């Protein structure tokens, strides 16, 4: 009988895959295929909190600190490029959800357990809230910053839409995009994002292109919808800055509910095209031969 030391890397990989199937584990995604060691739950949650902080601070911070200089294209690229490098930085640890809608999509197809999904979402919201406090602390140190007039990059429709027309003496003369348009874009664009995340990290996909496709999808999404509602597609991003902008808290419910609906829809589309659900990974212990960090 051949022992482990006498087999090649291809044989060992095949044995590991067979062990995962026999143990009822979910098929590994493209990102997980790079990292064979199982990280502890605490490290996964920490990665989600840190990743969401980085996404909100970097991207929303760009809108707040430099939006008038870089324009919508610059803000869209800030969101997309930040998510791109996060996919490669923390993807092997937690899967780089950094978005409750993505976690709901992963839950819908069985890539994460309900317990893990709850802790992921809590970590994402906490990371986003810390980023919101940090952005506000930096912004308000500028003497010309007016929170009531400039806000903090929050989402909104009607008088709070970026397309609303303001009068020369302040106040809104003409409302921007309405609630119906906001609902549609949040559902459709979140579904698109979640579908790309699931498809790009499927075991049939190329790990080298996962971050690129996900990041540029988020960039295009922002180019489409920044003028409509300032683009959410991520409840944690919306929750993070809503308390600092007048009128944003009253409209926050939409930017929580409809991205989550979009996340579930994106998972359904992925399921219908790829034709399978992923099994649940055992939560008691990692597979034999895989050490937990």
User: What residue ranges do the domains of the chain occupy?
Assistant: 33-274
The larger pLDDT score, comparing residue 263 to residue 206, is at 263
Per-residue pLDDT at 37 exceeds 80: no
User: Which are the contacts of 140, defined by CB distance < 8 A and separation ≥ 6?
Assistant: 147
Structure pTM? Answer: 0.82
What mean pLDDT comes out for the span 238-244? 97
Report pLDDT for 250.
97
The arrangement of secondary structure in 33-274, i.e. its CATH architecture, is Up-down Bundle (1.20)
Range in 147-151, 177-181, 216-220 the model is least confident about? 147-151
Per the CB < 8 A criterion, the answer to whether 127 and 49 are in contact is yes
What is the average per-residue pLDDT within 194-216? 88
Q: How many Å separate Cα 44 from the centre of its chain?
A: 15
Q: Within a 10 A sphere around the Cβ of 136, how many other Cβ atoms?
A: 19
Give me the pLDDT at residue 283, please.
Answer: 34
* pLDDT tens digits, one per residue of 157-170: 999 999 999 887 77
Instruction: Return all residues near 185 (Cβ < 8 A) that are at least 6 apart.
Output: 224, 225, 228, 229
Average pLDDT in the chain = 86
Is 132 in contact with 152 (CB distance < 8 Å)?
Answer: yes
DSSP one-letter code for 293: -
| Residue 201 near residue 30, CB atoms below 8 Å | yes
Residue 221 pLDDT more than 70? yes
Q: Which of 46-50, 90-94, 154-158, 163-167 has the lowest mean pLDDT?
A: 163-167
Percent of the chain whose pLDDT exceeds 90: 72
Residue 172: the pLDDT is: 79
pLDDT at site 13: 46
pLDDT tier at 25 (50, 70, 90 boundaries)? very low
Least confident of 14-18, 96-100, 209-213: 14-18
Pick the residue with more confidence: 245 or 282? 245
- Do residues 139 and 64 touch, judged by C-beta distance below 8 A? yes
What single-letter DSSP state applies at residue 164?
P
Query: First vs last Cα of the chain: how many Å apart?
Result: 31
CA 273 to each of CA 126, 198, 214, 265, 277: distance values in angstroms, whole numbers, following the listed order: 34, 11, 18, 13, 11
Residue 284 has pLDDT above 50, yes or no: no
């Amino acid at each position: 009988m051949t022992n482990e030391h006498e087999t090649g890397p291809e044989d060992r990989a095949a044995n590991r895959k067979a062990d995962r199937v026999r143990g009822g584990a979910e098929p590994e995604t493209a990102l997980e295929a790079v990292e064979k060691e199982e990280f502890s739950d605490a490290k996964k949650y920490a990665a989600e909190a840190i990743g969401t902080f980085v996404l909100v601070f970097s991207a929303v911070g760009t809108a707040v600190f430099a939006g008038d200089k870089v324009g919508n294209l610059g803000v869209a690229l800030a969101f997309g490029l930040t998510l791109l490098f996060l996919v490669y930085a923390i993807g092997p640890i937690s899967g780089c959800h950094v978005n409750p809608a993505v976690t709901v999509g992963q839950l819908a197809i069985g890539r994460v357990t309900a317990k893990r999904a709850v802790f992921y979402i809590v970590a994402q919201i906490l990371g986003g809230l810390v980023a919101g406090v940090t952005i506000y602390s930096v912004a308000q140190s500028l003497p010309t910053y007016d929170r009531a007039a400039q806000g903090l990059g929050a989402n909104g429709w009607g008088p709070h839409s970026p397309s609303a027309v303001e009068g020369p003496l302040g106040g809104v003369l003409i409302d921007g995009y309405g609630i119906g348009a906001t609902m549609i874009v949040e559902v459709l664009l979140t579904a698109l994002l979640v579908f790309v995340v699931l498809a790009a990290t499927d075991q049939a996909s190329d790990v080298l292109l996962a971050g690129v496709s996900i990041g540029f999808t988020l960039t295009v999404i922002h180019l489409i919808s920044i003028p409509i509602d300032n683009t959410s597609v991520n409840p944690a991003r919306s929750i993070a800055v809503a308390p600092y902008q007048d009128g944003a808290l009253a409209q926050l419910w939409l930017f929580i509910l409809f991205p989550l609906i979009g996340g579930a829809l994106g998972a359904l589309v992925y399921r219908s095209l790829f034709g399978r659900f992923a099994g649940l990974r055992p939560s008691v212990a990692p597979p034999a031969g895989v050490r937990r960090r």
